[in-house]
A and B are shown apart, each in its own frame.
Chain A
Amino acid sequence: MTTQRSRTDIAWLTLLLLVGATALSMWLRLPKALLDVVVVAALLGKARIVGLDFLGLRSAPAGWRLSIGSGIAVVAGLALALSV
């Protein structure tokens, strides 16, 4: 239980770091193409943390992780591909 609690705390801190890193990338005014890639990478990283460590998909059958993960990747990939 203590290990799970530590993992949850680390997940939260990592989420905050990813939000901060995204904000910093925007503040630095990176080139649009690079910024979009950073934004989508942060999106996927945050979604993975929330899915595995908060929503509990780490202990769920692999099919659930694969389905939800690939669904998020498809939406993010489509949004990136269609960004102007």
Chain B
Amino acid sequence: MSDAALPGETDEGAWPLFRGLQGHPMMWVLIVSEFAVFAAMLCAFAIARRLNPDVFAAGQAQLHAGLGALNTAVLATSGWCAARASLAAASGRSGVAHSWLFAAVVVGLCFLVVKGVEYAGLVGAGHGLEGDLFFTLYFLLTGFHALHVVLGIVILAVVAWAADREAIETGVAFWHAVDLIWIVMFPVVYLLG
């Protein structure tokens, strides 16, 4: 079986819908899927809050919005490092790109540390997945997002290890998607209501 592209399957022609986007088209299939899943979860959270206003008001009052805001700044900073890595890769400076990716990974780990501190405080106060509806949804939503942060860090580390420009742009696109999801999730879960 030859690896040569068949007619109509060149890089230019195979994915016309995804032309102009950073990274590999399959990553965008994943990103759109993730957006759809998180949008559904956040809408379910908003509807559940409307149906159980007292439970959600009491639960939200126990969250540490300051740590959430700190994590927003941390993730934005990590996204900035990743964006600089992508720009460096595009200009052929792979060494610089790897340094920026390393910085993005380190700052991304800081997000997980802050999230761990927040979880420890809530668990110490007796909250968990099997608590009331608010904390069940809170841990599901933020835990699912934290898993994506872990996956994003692994992807950034892999492309930082040894990868070409397209791989770096692909990994960075996923990281920005995780960043974008948090930017919507933080106000909906911590602030509105």
Contact = CB atoms under 8 A, between A and B. Distances in A.
Contacts of B80: 8-9, 11-12, 15, 54
Contact of B187 (A1, A40, A60): A40
B87 A5 contact: yes
B112 interface: no
A50 B183 contact: yes
Contacts of B183: 43, 46-47, 50
Given A42-B187, A47-B184, A50-B183, A4 B76 contact: no
A47 B188 CA distance: 13
Contacts of A9: 80
Contact of B76 (A19, A43, A55): A19
- Which one of B45, B56, B57, B183 has the greatest number of beta carbons of chain A within 10 Å? B183
Given A47-B184, A55-B180, A84-B57, A75 B19 contact: no
Contacts of B46: 78-79, 82-83
A44 B39 CA distance: 14
Contact of B188 (A5, A35, A53, A75): A75
Interface residues of A, number: 44
A50 B84 contact: no
B66 interface: yes
13 contacts: A5-B87, A22-B69, A47-B180, A51-B180, A54-B82, A55-B173, A56-B21, A68-B35, A75-B188, A76-B187, A78-B43, A79-B45, A84-B49
Interface of A: 1, 4-5, 8-9, 11-12, 15-16, 19, 22-23, 26, 35-36, 39-40, 42-43, 46-47, 50-51, 53-57, 59-61, 64, 68, 71-72, 74-76, 78-80, 82-84
